Amino acid sequence: MELQERLAGYLSAKLGSDVRVTAFARKSGGASRETYLFDATWEEAGRTVERGYVLRRDPVASVLESDRTLEFRVLEAAYALGIPAPKVSFLELSAAPLERPFFIMERVDGMPTPPTFPAGYPLEMRARTAADFVTILAQIHGADWRSQQLDFLDDPGPGTAAARQAVAHWHAIYQQDRLEPHPILERAFGWLERHLPATDGTTMVHGDYRSGNYLHDNDGHITAMLDWEMAHFGDPHEDLGWATMPYWSCEGRAAGLEHEDEMLLRYERASGRVVDRASVRFYQVLGTVKMAAISLTGVRSYCDGRSAEPTLPVVGLLLGRLSIELLALMGVAATPAEAR
Amino acid sequence: MRPDLDDILSGVQRLLQNDLVPALMTTPFLAEQAMYATLLLEYGKKLWPRLHLTLAEEHGDLRATLSAVVAQLRPESPAGATLAAAVAARLDEPADHVASTTLDVLAQRNAVLRGLVSEVTALLDAHASDAPGAPLEAARATIDAYLQRHAARQYHELELLGLSW
């Protein structure tokens, strides 16, 4: 039976009504999970209900091994806290219905952007997106997540534990998935160990907060923040470092939106927090290492024969850019533009 | 006459571009995969003719870097002397001439030597708190200069993909 039919059967059982699934299409991207968009139609209390949904199914192999229960629960909490995020509907851990575990969430209106905000979009639109991008991040960092039964998430607490745990996490993934030694990454892990920043307190960290992971309307306002699978409690500077790191930058604008200094000042105003620039730099280095580790995970999946997706070796080649950016961030080499 | 590698990869590319991608346009996800496959074939076509030269150049760079580091590490500390001896032993191993070595063997040798660079990096990190001007700084400078050349080589490979990032 086709995936679309199986999905219709699953939803019919869940909703207690005969559900029709239409416009079912796999979406490009979605590197950590297979993502499908579809419309569902059913009868409820004598009326016809039609709703757009997104299916996020575990992949056979991916660039990021992540926990779909965590993503579902954090999305549920984000929605409850009033943060722009999709409303989740069903979590299925059994492989029986659709061959692999999955969850389903309601589709949010809006357009995606590439990993950097498109340079060709109008300036006013970019300004609105930049404002929303920072305001929502401040909202995430200020929300009372601990009221949301997320006890399964470890909280490293204040001090250097958050940074140390993050470095250890990505170092373990690097060691597990590398196919050969990468001296530049080894150099970076040593640098990170020597520059661990302390935080006054931990907050929810989105973990993948960047352009490309939100939807926006025609005016540039962000309608939903997506891809929460790397969410965790940690140092809020981690999201700032990831969002502003050179990899996601375009024409000198962090995340393709605005200059890094402007973005950090805007964040300080929106959050009431003081941003420590050295911590941001630390998390930019960590973010770049993390991106490298993610790309190596994809390459490992491809070379082990678990995936045939040609995007995985392409992503692996990005190590060439990440290496140059790492050396510049650590002060070992000139800026990426000069080094090329 | 028989097809060379370029002919073969170009043929597969034409099949993908002219027949498979148009047929897959109703399933954008698969069409995108086919386009990335075409991109990888182009990458292979550009990489392959120079791959032996590239690996040989890296091999020479690794040996020169490690030879310099051996001289810089040896007098500094027991740990430095031990690692210097290990690196020197590896560099002294008899090896076929690079030109007569197959690609896979050369790639493996480079990976081993890069592993030694990583070991030297770890040793330098362990001594990173030493006072400025400490003798290991010379080894650090040698390694960092190698890392920059290594990054430039990796970036050149990325450029072969023909995508702008």
Q: pLDDT of A209-221, one tens digit each?
A: 999 999 999 999 9
Q: What is the rounded average pLDDT for all residues in chain B?
A: 86
- pLDDT (mean) for A128-147: 97
Instruction: Tell me the ipTM for this assembly.
Output: 0.90
Q: What is the DSSP string of A145-188?
A: GGGS--TTS----SBSHHHHHHHHHHHHHHHHH-SS--HHHHHH
pLDDT bin (cut points 50, 70, 90) of residue A339 is: very low
Contacts of A291 in chain B (CB under 8 A): none
The proportion of chain A whose per-residue pLDDT surpasses 90, expressed as a percent, equals 78
Residue A332, min C-alpha distance to chain B (Å): 7
- pLDDT (mean) for B114-122: 93
* For testing contact with chain A, the best of B21, B24, B36 (most A CBs within 10 A): B36
| Bridge partners for A50 per DSSP | A41
Token pair of A200, please? Answer: 């006054």
- pLDDT (mean) for A82-109: 95
Task: Give the class (CATH, top level) of A3-106.
Answer: alpha beta
- Of B93, B62, B55, B80, residue with least CA distance to B139: B80
Residue B131 has pLDDT above 90, yes or no: no
CATH topology assigned to domain A111-339: Aminoglycoside 3'-phosphotransferase; Chain: A, domain 2 (3.90.1200)
Chain A, chain B: beta-carbon pairs less than 8 Å apart:
108
Q: Are A222 and A215 in contact (CB under 8 A)?
A: yes
- pLDDT (mean) for B33-56: 92
In the prediction, which pLDDT does B71 show? 87
pLDDT bin (cut points 50, 70, 90) of residue A65 is: low
Higher pLDDT, B31 or A292: A292
Please check whether residue A23 touches B, CB under 8 A: no
Residue ranges, comma separated, of all CATH 3.30.200.20 domains in chain A are 3-106
Counted residue by residue, chain A has a size of 340
Residue B1 has pLDDT above 90, yes or no: no
Q: pLDDT of B50-84, one tens digit each?
A: 999 999 999 999 999 999 999 888 776 777 788 88
* Whether A321 and B36 lie within 8 Å, measured CB to CB: no
Q: Which long-range contacts (CB under 8 A, 24 or more apart) does A168-173 make?
A: A170/A286, A170/A289, A170/A290, A170/A293, A173/A293, A173/A294, A173/A296, A173/A297
- The DSSP H or E segment spanning B88 is helix B78-92
* pTM for this prediction: 0.92
Rounded CA-CA distance A240/A254 in Å is 10
Q: What is the DSSP string of A271-326?
A: H-PPP-HHHHHHHHHHHHHHHHHHHHHHHHHHHTTS---THHHHHHHTHHHHHHHH
Please check whether residue A195 touches B, CB under 8 A: no
pLDDT bin (cut points 50, 70, 90) of residue B85 is: confident
Rounded CA-CA distance A148/A210 in Å is 24
Q: pLDDT of A224-247, one tens digit each?
A: 999 999 999 999 999 999 999 999
| Burial (CB count <10 Å: 0-12, 13-18, 19+), residue B93 | exposed
So where are chain B's domains? Answer: 5-49, 51-160
In the prediction, which pLDDT does B101 show? 85
CB neighbours of A41 closer than 8 A, spacing ≥ 6? Answer: A19, A20, A22, A48, A49, A50
* For testing contact with chain A, the best of B32, B116, B147, B159 (most A CBs within 10 A): B147
Residue A266 has pLDDT above 90, yes or no: yes
Residue B1, min C-alpha distance to chain A (Å): 31
In the prediction, which pLDDT does B132 show? 59
Residue B5 has pLDDT above 80, yes or no: yes
* Whether B111 and A181 lie within 8 Å, measured CB to CB: yes
Residue B139, min C-alpha distance to chain A (Å): 13
Q: Are A208 and A85 in contact (CB under 8 A)?
A: no
Q: What is the DSSP letter of B18?
A: I
In the prediction, which pLDDT does A309 show? 86
- pLDDT (mean) for A303-309: 87
In the prediction, which pLDDT does B72 show? 87
CB neighbours of A336 closer than 8 A, spacing ≥ 6? Answer: A246, A321, A324, A325, A328
Residue A206, min C-alpha distance to chain B (Å): 24
Residue A147 has pLDDT above 60, yes or no: yes
In the prediction, which pLDDT does A105 show? 97
Residue ranges, comma separated, of all CATH 3.90.1200.10 domains in chain A are 111-339
Q: Are A62 and A97 in contact (CB under 8 A)?
A: no
In the prediction, which pLDDT does B90 show? 82
Token pair of A91, please? Answer: 């979590």
